């Protein structure tokens, strides 16, 4: 879908049916690194077809057969690929320039690079210190078995180091300094490593992984809970709704499964059955006033937009990492919800949603800021407004390529 904008509407304001979600991007990209380091022992099922995963596959294929001199690997806007490859490429016998889009070159990578250099990696900055592009000379000689990294930064830095730890000659002890942000993503990494036979110990703030080889095994990638979150919003904003999402697990590795508990407060009743997760519209809403997204920041946009149009004057914490994502997601949210009268006000780490002046225009145009989650968080508003225009709709291909087709299947009308 290469249109500069699309118009979304929904005549009946009711949704009913089954939606088969793609595999989790977060699990898929971890699985690909684990597989690449397994010497053929690990296979993968239900791999995501999202752009970020396709980019990771291409990058790993290039890295597997490097040419003489420096090999340029351009991961475009794929943040997970940037973080994971920054560690992985140090173990490959080859030399690489790791780069991405203009926005990717504004996203910090220095904390991870410092940690890798501490244990022996040969990495240099091609341009601005602390940011991509990176010049990596592979085949690293590990100089130290231990490193300390701050816990309140992107959990992808930590996962990146954990994924390569068992392939290092001295293993790795990772000391986490301060409070750990997005803990479920670190736990996901460790659980997936455990599935292929790579053990760890986690004592207090130290995670230790000895040198070891993955066993012959298959990693099954669960459907994407981040993608599921948009359907929770759709159910919440529909006049009547029953949606079934096959394959999702009640005991998921993905931190974004927290959407089940969060959206219960917005009138979405969830039940796990043999054919999948059932979502139904309810008239029950809670009076909960504070939501913490520290462990599931990718849900924030979806929930905040939904809360804004439902006129919930509530507050949020744990949004610190949103400013260094595909865009400054806080600023983007403030701009776009402001178009229908909502405000998101920051105060000492808390974000307060003010909805007293919310109104319902017939037509609203939403900028996406090159951010897939902006497009998908605002699309459900077509159940409230007569028309929602989404600019640059192709951004959804980063994580959920079938999103617009799935909306059409549930009665949404989409025109260019």
Q: Which residues pair with 273 in a beta bridge?
A: 276
Distance between start and end Cα atoms, the chain: 9
Which token pair is 183? 């803990």
The residues near 250 (Cβ < 8 Å, ≥ 6 apart) are 272
| Cβ–Cβ under 8 Å, residues 305 and 381 | yes
Other Cβ atoms closer than 10 A to 146: 14
DSSP letter (8 states) at residue 319: -
Which token pair is 40? 């053929």
Tokens 């500069």: give the residue: 4
Q: How far apart are CA 301 and CA 333, in angstroms?
A: 7
Cis peptide bond prior to 311, omega within 30° of 0: no
Greatest distance between any 2 Cα atoms in the chain: 64
Burial (0-12, 13-18, 19+ Cβ within 10 Å), 217: middle
Q: How far apart are CA 321 and CA 54, in angstroms?
A: 25
Q: How far apart are CA 83 and CA 80, in angstroms?
A: 5
DSSP letter (8 states) at residue 284: -
Long-range contact set of residues 411-416: C-beta below 8 Å, sequence gap at least 24: 411/10, 411/11, 411/12, 411/14, 411/15, 412/8, 412/9, 412/10, 412/379, 412/382, 413/8, 413/9, 413/10, 413/11, 414/6, 414/7, 414/8, 415/6, 415/7, 416/3, 416/5, 416/6, 416/7
If DSSP codes are grouped into helix, strand and coil, which group holds residue 90?
A: helix
Q: How far apart are CA 343 and CA 308, in angstroms?
A: 8
Which token pair is 63? 């890295």
Residues with catalytic function: 298
What is the DSSP pairing of strand 240-245 with strand 14-18?
parallel
Q: How far apart are CA 378 and CA 157, in angstroms?
A: 29
């Amino acid at each position: 879908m290469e249109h500069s904008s699309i118009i979304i509407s929904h005549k009946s304001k009711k949704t009913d049916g089954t939606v088969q979600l793609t595999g989790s991007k977060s699990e898929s990209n971890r699985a690909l690194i684990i597989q690449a380091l397994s010497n053929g022992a690990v296979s993968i099922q239900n791999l995501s077809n999202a752009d970020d995963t396709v980019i990771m596959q291409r990058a790993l294929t290039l890295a597997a057969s490097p040419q003489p001199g420096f090999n340029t690997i351009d991961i475009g806007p794929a943040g997970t690929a940037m973080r994971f490859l920054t560690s992985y490429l140090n173990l490959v016998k080859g030399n690489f320039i790791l780069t991405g889009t203009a926005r990717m070159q504004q996203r910090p990578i220095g904390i991870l690079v410092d940690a890798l250099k501490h244990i022996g990696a040969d990495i240099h900055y091609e341009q601005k210190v602390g940011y991509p592009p990176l010049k990596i000379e592979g085949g690293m000689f590990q100089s130290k078995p231990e490193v300390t990294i701050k816990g309140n930064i992107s959990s992808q830095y930590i996962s990146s180091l954990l994924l390569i730890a068992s392939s290092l000659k001295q293993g790795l002890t990772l000391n986490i300094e301060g409070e750990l942000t997005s803990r479920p993503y670190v736990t996901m990494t460790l659980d997936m490593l455990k599935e292929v036979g790579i053990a760890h110990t986690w004592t207090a703030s130290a995670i230790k992984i000895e040198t070891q080889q993955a066993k012959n095994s298959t990693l099954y990638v669960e459907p994407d809970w981040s993608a599921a979150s948009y359907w929770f919003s759709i159910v919440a904003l529909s006049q009547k709704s029953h949606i079934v999402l096959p394959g999702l697990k009640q005991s998921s590795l993905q931190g974004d499964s927290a959407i089940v508990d969060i959206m219960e407060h917005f009138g979405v009743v969830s039940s796990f059955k043999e054919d999948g997760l059932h979502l139904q519209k309810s008239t029950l809403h809670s009076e909960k006033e504070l939501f913490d997204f520290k462990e599931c920041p990718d849900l924030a946009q979806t929930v905040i937009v939904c809360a804004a149009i439902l006129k919930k004057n509530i507050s949020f914490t744990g949004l610190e990492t949103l400013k260094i994502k595909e865009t400054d997601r806080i600023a983007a949210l403030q701009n776009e919800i402001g178009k229908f009268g909502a405000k998101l006000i920051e105060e000492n780490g808390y974000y307060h949603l003010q909805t007293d002046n919310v109104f319902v225009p017939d037509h609203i145009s939403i900028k996406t800021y090159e951010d897939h989650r902006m497009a998908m968080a605002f699309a459900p508003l077509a159940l409230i407004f007569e028309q929602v225009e989404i600019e640059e709709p192709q951004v959804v291909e980063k994580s959920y390529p079938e999103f617009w087709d799935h909306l059409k299947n549930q009665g949404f009308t989409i025109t260019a």
